Amino acid sequence: MGAPMSYQKYEALVAPARPTSEPGRLIVGFVLILTLGAVLKVSLLLMMRSVAPSANDALYQGIVSGESPGATLVVLFSFLLTIVAIALVLPRLHKRGLLTLLGPLRELAADFKACLKWLLPLALLVLVLPSGTGGDLLPGLSGGLWLLLLPVSLLALLIQVSAEEILFRGYVQSQLAARFASPLVWILLPATLFGLGHFDPAAGDLNPWYISWALLFAVAAADLTARSGNLGPAIAFHFTNNLMAVLFVALPGNLSGLALYLYPFSSEELPGMTSFLVLDMAWIAVSWLACRVAVRR
């Protein structure tokens, strides 16, 4: 089964991967990137604690819980180290540069903006409509502090989603597409990795929901990447989703420190989370269709 005609633009990302498309090389590269990224992040935390131990103890504990603004910003900005890890591994293992994972930059910027023009109004509509998850929202940051932090929060969020898209859609997906013609391989394998990465040992019976949500999200992002030939739509898609879930209304706990409001249930509570995840899957489908319309040329 070959790639559909609608994926012809994907050649811009696939062609640089062909000379070094061996699956074994991809496995080694993926493991190296994850390992190096983790080492860099741990080194950063240790360095921060050593500079001012007493001042950074609270920040460190906040990073573990993810409930303070400073800690959430540190976690989001730390994804820049994942991009650094990719940039270090890629030329040594695949003889290609980081920019080859992005697609044509002019088209990336144009598609990113085109998708945001559709996604941001849709996100605003979703936020003002009743959630259907039950219970009133809880207050998060004060409005003044939220607005003060908004510019740096948006930058941190953009770095976080870009790092994940570069790794999964830019790197893993393009390397697989260079080796295997069928989209069933190069879409579903990275999507499965992305889905399994959302496994939470504390979530118990909710894990199938989390993994299914992440899998659906990854398949949609993969289709947008292959359809446009660049990461612009997938980054806009991911950015808008996380904008809603991190900066506007977040689940209490992990990465909730920058949110204006909090849901009245945790990520481990089955009754509230099942409704939440079903609605979120519907949002994925609608925003994916909006991006497809936005990048149609």
- CA–chain centroid gap for 48, Å, is 25
pLDDT tens per residue across span 214-262:
999 999 999 999 999 999 999 999 999 999 999 999 888 778 899 999 8
Q: Which residues contact 184 (CB under 8 A, 6 or more apart)?
A: 1
CA dihedral over 20, 22, 24, 27, signed as positive or negative: positive
15 vs 42: which has the higher pLDDT:
15
pLDDT band at 152 (very low <50, low <70, confident <90, very high): very high
Q: Per the structure, how many domains does the chain have?
A: 1
Inter-CA distances, 73 with 115, 136, 151, 255, 286, Å = 25, 26, 12, 9, 29
Per-residue pLDDT, 207: 79
Distance CA(130)–CA(136), nearest Å, equals: 10
Residue-number span of the structural domain to which 46 is assigned? 5-294
**Residue 17: pLDDT over 90:** yes
Distance CA(183)–CA(185), nearest Å, equals: 5
Per-residue pLDDT, 178: 96
**Residue 172: pLDDT over 80:** yes
Least confident of 121-130, 194-203, 210-219, 224-233: 194-203
Per-residue pLDDT, 294: 94
Average pLDDT, the chain: 88
Per-residue pLDDT, 251: 82
